[in-house]
Structure 1
Amino acid sequence: MDENKRKDTSEDQALSLSDLLTFSGAYDHTLDAKGRIVIPNAYREPLGDTFVVSVTRDTKSIALYPNDVFESFIREINSLNKRKVAIQDYIRNVAKFTFLNSQMDNQGRVLLPAKLRLAKLGDAKDIEISGAFDHVEIVSSETARLNYERFNDPDHLDALLEEIGNMGFEQTDRF
Protein backbone atom coordinates (compact mmCIF):
# COMPACT_ATOMS: atom_id res chain seq x y z
CA MET A 1 0.00 0.00 0.00
CA ASP A 2 2.78 2.46 0.89
CA GLU A 3 4.52 1.60 -2.39
CA ASN A 4 1.40 2.62 -4.31
CA LYS A 5 1.24 5.92 -2.45
CA ARG A 6 4.88 6.63 -3.26
CA LYS A 7 4.31 5.75 -6.89
CA ASP A 8 1.30 8.06 -7.16
CA THR A 9 3.20 10.88 -5.46
CA SER A 10 6.18 10.61 -7.80
CA GLU A 11 3.88 10.56 -10.83
CA ASP A 12 2.13 13.71 -9.58
CA GLN A 13 5.50 15.42 -9.21
CA ALA A 14 6.60 14.58 -12.75
CA LEU A 15 6.69 17.71 -14.84
CA SER A 16 5.12 17.89 -18.27
CA LEU A 17 6.88 19.45 -21.23
CA SER A 18 4.65 22.53 -20.95
CA ASP A 19 5.67 22.87 -17.27
CA LEU A 20 9.34 22.77 -18.22
CA LEU A 21 8.91 25.17 -21.14
CA THR A 22 6.68 27.75 -19.51
CA PHE A 23 8.09 30.46 -21.79
CA SER A 24 9.10 29.52 -25.32
CA GLY A 25 8.97 31.09 -28.76
CA ALA A 26 10.09 34.52 -29.98
CA TYR A 27 8.06 37.56 -30.98
CA ASP A 28 9.04 40.81 -32.70
CA HIS A 29 7.58 43.96 -31.16
CA THR A 30 8.11 47.71 -31.07
CA LEU A 31 8.40 49.88 -27.97
CA ASP A 32 5.72 52.56 -27.89
CA ALA A 33 6.48 56.24 -27.22
CA LYS A 34 6.13 55.69 -23.46
CA GLY A 35 8.56 52.74 -23.37
CA ARG A 36 5.88 50.06 -23.09
CA ILE A 37 5.78 46.67 -24.77
CA VAL A 38 2.84 44.42 -25.48
CA ILE A 39 3.33 41.07 -23.75
CA PRO A 40 2.54 38.17 -26.10
CA ASN A 41 -0.66 36.33 -25.11
CA ALA A 42 1.26 33.10 -24.51
CA TYR A 43 3.26 34.76 -21.71
CA ARG A 44 0.52 36.67 -19.90
CA GLU A 45 -1.00 33.95 -17.72
CA PRO A 46 2.32 32.32 -16.71
CA LEU A 47 3.72 35.72 -15.66
CA GLY A 48 0.81 36.22 -13.29
CA ASP A 49 -0.93 39.37 -12.08
CA THR A 50 2.33 40.79 -10.73
CA PHE A 51 5.85 39.87 -11.77
CA VAL A 52 9.41 41.19 -11.67
CA VAL A 53 11.10 43.27 -14.36
CA SER A 54 14.86 42.95 -14.00
CA VAL A 55 17.97 41.79 -15.83
CA THR A 56 18.84 38.30 -16.97
CA ARG A 57 21.24 36.26 -14.85
CA ASP A 58 24.14 37.36 -17.07
CA THR A 59 22.82 40.96 -16.80
CA LYS A 60 23.00 41.44 -20.59
CA SER A 61 19.27 41.63 -21.28
CA ILE A 62 15.96 42.62 -19.74
CA ALA A 63 13.99 39.81 -18.12
CA LEU A 64 10.44 39.34 -16.90
CA TYR A 65 10.26 36.79 -14.09
CA PRO A 66 7.28 35.18 -12.40
CA ASN A 67 7.62 36.00 -8.69
CA ASP A 68 8.49 32.43 -7.67
CA VAL A 69 11.27 32.16 -10.26
CA PHE A 70 12.76 35.50 -9.20
CA GLU A 71 12.58 34.43 -5.55
CA SER A 72 14.67 31.33 -6.40
CA PHE A 73 17.14 33.54 -8.28
CA ILE A 74 17.51 35.83 -5.25
CA ARG A 75 17.98 32.83 -2.94
CA GLU A 76 20.85 31.69 -5.20
CA ILE A 77 22.42 35.14 -5.04
CA ASN A 78 22.01 35.31 -1.26
CA SER A 79 23.87 32.02 -0.90
CA LEU A 80 27.00 33.54 -2.48
CA ASN A 81 29.95 34.87 -0.47
CA LYS A 82 29.08 38.55 -0.13
CA ARG A 83 32.59 39.42 1.05
CA LYS A 84 33.86 39.08 -2.51
CA VAL A 85 33.92 42.36 -4.41
CA ALA A 86 32.67 40.70 -7.61
CA ILE A 87 29.61 39.35 -5.76
CA GLN A 88 28.93 42.77 -4.21
CA ASP A 89 29.16 44.32 -7.67
CA TYR A 90 26.80 41.73 -9.13
CA ILE A 91 24.23 42.19 -6.34
CA ARG A 92 24.43 45.98 -6.64
CA ASN A 93 23.75 45.91 -10.37
CA VAL A 94 20.98 43.32 -10.23
CA ALA A 95 19.26 45.25 -7.42
CA LYS A 96 19.65 48.55 -9.29
CA PHE A 97 17.74 47.16 -12.27
CA THR A 98 15.07 45.18 -10.40
CA PHE A 99 11.48 46.41 -10.29
CA LEU A 100 9.07 44.37 -8.16
CA ASN A 101 5.28 44.22 -8.43
CA SER A 102 5.19 45.03 -12.14
CA GLN A 103 1.84 44.63 -13.85
CA MET A 104 0.34 44.64 -17.31
CA ASP A 105 -2.38 47.11 -18.13
CA ASN A 106 -5.74 46.01 -19.57
CA GLN A 107 -4.20 45.85 -23.05
CA GLY A 108 -1.36 43.55 -21.96
CA ARG A 109 1.29 46.26 -21.98
CA VAL A 110 4.07 46.69 -19.44
CA LEU A 111 6.27 49.73 -18.95
CA LEU A 112 9.98 49.00 -19.10
CA PRO A 113 11.57 51.42 -16.60
CA ALA A 114 13.60 54.11 -18.39
CA LYS A 115 16.91 53.44 -16.63
CA LEU A 116 16.73 49.70 -17.39
CA ARG A 117 15.51 50.31 -20.94
CA LEU A 118 18.34 52.72 -21.72
CA ALA A 119 21.01 50.48 -20.15
CA LYS A 120 19.96 47.29 -21.94
CA LEU A 121 18.27 48.43 -25.16
CA GLY A 122 19.90 51.79 -25.80
CA ASP A 123 17.76 53.76 -28.23
CA ALA A 124 16.39 50.66 -29.98
CA LYS A 125 12.65 50.66 -30.64
CA ASP A 126 12.41 47.30 -32.41
CA ILE A 127 12.78 44.45 -29.95
CA GLU A 128 12.49 40.70 -29.65
CA ILE A 129 10.57 39.17 -26.75
CA SER A 130 11.50 35.53 -26.31
CA GLY A 131 10.95 32.69 -23.91
CA ALA A 132 13.83 31.34 -21.86
CA PHE A 133 11.97 28.40 -20.27
CA ASP A 134 11.44 29.93 -16.79
CA HIS A 135 11.45 33.63 -17.73
CA VAL A 136 11.00 36.04 -20.63
CA GLU A 137 13.95 37.85 -22.23
CA ILE A 138 13.83 41.17 -24.07
CA VAL A 139 16.61 42.33 -26.40
CA SER A 140 16.88 44.72 -29.32
CA SER A 141 16.12 43.17 -32.69
CA GLU A 142 19.74 43.80 -33.68
CA THR A 143 21.05 41.95 -30.61
CA ALA A 144 18.67 39.07 -31.34
CA ARG A 145 19.97 38.88 -34.91
CA LEU A 146 23.62 38.88 -33.77
CA ASN A 147 22.89 36.22 -31.12
CA TYR A 148 21.24 34.04 -33.75
CA GLU A 149 24.18 34.43 -36.16
CA ARG A 150 26.65 33.60 -33.39
CA PHE A 151 24.65 30.57 -32.28
CA ASN A 152 24.54 29.24 -35.84
CA ASP A 153 28.27 29.68 -36.44
CA PRO A 154 29.55 26.06 -36.71
CA ASP A 155 32.68 26.77 -34.64
CA HIS A 156 30.70 28.45 -31.88
CA LEU A 157 28.08 25.70 -31.89
CA ASP A 158 30.74 22.97 -31.66
CA ALA A 159 32.40 24.75 -28.72
CA LEU A 160 29.04 25.27 -27.04
CA LEU A 161 28.07 21.61 -27.40
CA GLU A 162 31.46 20.55 -26.08
CA GLU A 163 31.06 22.81 -23.05
CA ILE A 164 27.58 21.44 -22.41
CA GLY A 165 28.97 17.92 -22.73
CA ASN A 166 31.63 18.76 -20.14
CA MET A 167 28.85 19.70 -17.72
CA GLY A 168 27.62 16.14 -17.68
CA PHE A 169 25.09 16.19 -20.50
CA GLU A 170 25.52 13.56 -23.14
CA GLN A 171 25.92 14.83 -26.68
CA THR A 172 23.83 12.75 -29.05
CA ASP A 173 23.04 12.88 -32.73
CA ARG A 174 19.33 13.16 -31.93
CA PHE A 175 19.49 16.84 -31.04
Structure 2
Amino acid sequence: MFIGEYLHTMDSKGRLFIPAKFREALGEVMVATKGLDGCLCIYPMDEWQQVADKLKKLPFTRADARAFQRFVFSGATECELDKQGRILLAPSLRDYAGLTKDVIVIGVSTRVEVWDVERWQEYNGQTAERFEDVAENLIDFEL
Protein backbone atom coordinates (compact mmCIF):
# COMPACT_ATOMS: atom_id res chain seq x y z
CA MET A 1 0.00 0.00 0.00
CA PHE A 2 1.29 3.43 -0.93
CA ILE A 3 1.00 6.13 1.74
CA GLY A 4 2.77 9.37 2.55
CA GLU A 5 3.80 12.61 0.91
CA TYR A 6 7.31 13.42 -0.33
CA LEU A 7 8.76 16.61 -1.80
CA HIS A 8 11.23 15.99 -4.64
CA THR A 9 12.95 17.86 -7.41
CA MET A 10 12.69 16.75 -11.01
CA ASP A 11 15.78 17.43 -13.11
CA SER A 12 15.80 19.30 -16.44
CA LYS A 13 15.66 15.99 -18.36
CA GLY A 14 12.43 14.97 -16.62
CA ARG A 15 13.97 12.40 -14.29
CA LEU A 16 12.10 12.01 -11.02
CA PHE A 17 13.44 10.36 -7.89
CA ILE A 18 11.00 7.75 -6.56
CA PRO A 19 10.89 7.62 -2.75
CA ALA A 20 12.62 4.52 -1.39
CA LYS A 21 9.43 3.44 0.41
CA PHE A 22 7.65 3.22 -2.96
CA ARG A 23 10.36 1.60 -5.08
CA GLU A 24 9.99 -2.01 -3.96
CA ALA A 25 6.21 -2.04 -4.37
CA LEU A 26 6.40 -0.32 -7.78
CA GLY A 27 9.03 -2.72 -9.09
CA GLU A 28 11.67 -2.10 -11.74
CA VAL A 29 9.11 -1.31 -14.46
CA MET A 30 5.91 0.64 -13.86
CA VAL A 31 3.29 2.57 -15.84
CA ALA A 32 2.84 6.33 -15.64
CA THR A 33 -0.24 7.99 -17.11
CA LYS A 34 -2.41 11.07 -16.90
CA GLY A 35 -4.47 11.14 -13.74
CA LEU A 36 -7.55 13.06 -12.77
CA ASP A 37 -7.35 16.50 -11.17
CA GLY A 38 -4.19 17.42 -13.10
CA CYS A 39 -1.72 14.92 -11.62
CA LEU A 40 0.12 11.88 -12.94
CA CYS A 41 -0.57 8.36 -11.72
CA ILE A 42 2.11 5.70 -11.45
CA TYR A 43 1.05 2.07 -11.12
CA PRO A 44 2.97 -1.12 -10.44
CA MET A 45 2.52 -3.45 -13.42
CA ASP A 46 0.07 -5.78 -11.66
CA GLU A 47 -2.14 -2.89 -10.56
CA TRP A 48 -1.93 -1.30 -14.03
CA GLN A 49 -3.18 -4.57 -15.52
CA GLN A 50 -6.22 -4.45 -13.23
CA VAL A 51 -6.93 -0.83 -14.21
CA ALA A 52 -6.50 -1.68 -17.91
CA ASP A 53 -8.84 -4.68 -17.59
CA LYS A 54 -11.55 -2.50 -16.02
CA LEU A 55 -11.15 0.16 -18.71
CA LYS A 56 -11.38 -2.45 -21.47
CA LYS A 57 -14.75 -3.55 -20.08
CA LEU A 58 -16.29 -0.10 -20.55
CA PRO A 59 -18.94 -0.11 -23.29
CA PHE A 60 -17.40 0.83 -26.63
CA THR A 61 -20.73 2.25 -27.76
CA ARG A 62 -20.62 5.04 -25.15
CA ALA A 63 -18.78 8.19 -26.22
CA ASP A 64 -17.77 9.05 -22.64
CA ALA A 65 -16.30 5.56 -22.15
CA ARG A 66 -14.27 5.82 -25.36
CA ALA A 67 -13.08 9.30 -24.35
CA PHE A 68 -11.96 8.09 -20.93
CA GLN A 69 -10.14 5.09 -22.42
CA ARG A 70 -8.33 7.43 -24.83
CA PHE A 71 -7.43 9.79 -22.01
CA VAL A 72 -5.85 7.06 -19.87
CA PHE A 73 -4.27 4.80 -22.50
CA SER A 74 -2.91 7.51 -24.82
CA GLY A 75 -0.91 9.04 -21.99
CA ALA A 76 0.34 5.76 -20.56
CA THR A 77 4.01 4.90 -20.78
CA GLU A 78 6.23 2.27 -19.20
CA CYS A 79 8.96 3.68 -16.96
CA GLU A 80 12.04 1.91 -15.66
CA LEU A 81 13.91 2.72 -12.48
CA ASP A 82 17.52 3.69 -13.10
CA LYS A 83 20.35 2.86 -10.67
CA GLN A 84 19.73 6.09 -8.74
CA GLY A 85 16.06 5.24 -8.16
CA ARG A 86 14.70 7.66 -10.78
CA ILE A 87 12.25 7.34 -13.65
CA LEU A 88 12.09 9.43 -16.80
CA LEU A 89 8.70 11.06 -17.30
CA ALA A 90 7.66 11.70 -20.90
CA PRO A 91 7.44 15.37 -21.93
CA SER A 92 3.73 15.01 -22.74
CA LEU A 93 3.04 13.77 -19.20
CA ARG A 94 5.12 16.55 -17.64
CA ASP A 95 3.23 19.12 -19.71
CA TYR A 96 -0.16 17.66 -18.78
CA ALA A 97 0.59 17.84 -15.04
CA GLY A 98 2.45 21.16 -15.25
CA LEU A 99 5.59 19.60 -13.78
CA THR A 100 8.73 21.70 -13.93
CA LYS A 101 11.05 21.29 -10.96
CA ASP A 102 9.47 20.92 -7.52
CA VAL A 103 6.98 18.07 -7.26
CA ILE A 104 5.06 16.22 -4.58
CA VAL A 105 5.01 12.43 -4.78
CA ILE A 106 2.15 10.95 -2.77
CA GLY A 107 0.96 7.47 -1.98
CA VAL A 108 -2.73 6.83 -2.66
CA SER A 109 -3.37 3.22 -1.68
CA THR A 110 -2.81 1.29 -4.94
CA ARG A 111 -1.05 4.03 -6.91
CA VAL A 112 1.47 6.84 -6.62
CA GLU A 113 0.51 10.33 -7.73
CA VAL A 114 2.89 13.06 -8.89
CA TRP A 115 1.80 16.67 -8.50
CA ASP A 116 3.28 20.06 -9.23
CA VAL A 117 3.83 21.60 -5.77
CA GLU A 118 1.67 24.66 -6.41
CA ARG A 119 -1.14 22.62 -7.99
CA TRP A 120 -1.05 20.21 -5.01
CA GLN A 121 -1.28 23.08 -2.51
CA GLU A 122 -4.18 24.61 -4.44
CA TYR A 123 -5.96 21.25 -4.64
CA ASN A 124 -5.41 20.60 -0.94
CA GLY A 125 -6.77 24.02 -0.04
CA GLN A 126 -9.94 23.45 -2.07
CA THR A 127 -10.42 19.93 -0.75
CA ALA A 128 -9.80 20.85 2.89
CA GLU A 129 -12.61 23.39 2.72
CA ARG A 130 -15.09 20.77 1.58
CA PHE A 131 -13.66 17.63 3.20
CA GLU A 132 -16.56 17.22 5.61
CA ASP A 133 -19.10 17.58 2.80
CA VAL A 134 -17.25 15.00 0.69
CA ALA A 135 -16.98 12.58 3.62
CA GLU A 136 -20.67 13.02 4.42
CA ASN A 137 -21.63 12.03 0.87
CA LEU A 138 -19.60 8.81 0.84
CA ILE A 139 -21.78 5.82 1.48
CA ASP A 140 -20.85 3.54 4.39
CA PHE A 141 -17.50 5.21 5.06
CA GLU A 142 -16.13 5.61 8.54
CA LEU A 143 -12.68 6.71 9.67
What is the TM-score when the length of structure 2 is the normalising length?
A: 0.93
- 8 Å contact kept, 1:52–1:66: yes
* CA deviation map 1:27-72 (0-9, x unaligned): 111110101111110011000111111123x363111100111111
**Greater share of residues in strand:** 2
Please give the alpha-carbon distance, in whole angstroms, between the structure 2 residues aligned to 1:140 and 1:60. Answer: 9
The AA in structure 2 aligned to 1:134 is: T
Mapping of residues 1-175 of structure 1, within 5 Å: 22-56=1-35, 58=36, 60-100=38-78, 102-121=79-98, 124-153=100-129, 156-164=130-138, 167-169=139-141, 171=142, 175=143
Please give the alpha-carbon distance, in whole angstroms, between the structure 1 residues aligned to 2:71 and 2:37. Answer: 8
Please give the alpha-carbon distance, in whole angstroms, between the structure 2 residues aligned to 1:88 and 1:59. Answer: 19
The AA in structure 2 aligned to 1:35 is: G
Change (3 A) 1:78 1:59: farther
**Larger relative contact order (Cα-Cα within 8 Å, sequence gap ≥ 6):** 2
Q: Please list every run of 5 or more consecutive structure 2 residues that lacks an aligned counterpart in the other structure.
A: none
- State the number of aligned residues: 143
Larger radius of gyration: 1
Alpha-carbon deviation of 1:116?
A: 1.0
Q: Secondary structure at the match of 2:134?
A: helix
- 8 Å contact kept, 1:59–1:94: no
Identical counterparts, % of pairs: 27
- 8 Å contact kept, 1:26–1:129: yes
Extract structure 1 runs of 4+ deviating beyond 3 A.
none
Change (3 A) 1:40 1:63: same
What is the TM-score when the length of structure 1 is the normalising length?
A: 0.77
Q: Please list every run of 5 or more consecutive structure 1 residues that lacks an aligned counterpart in the other structure.
A: 1-21
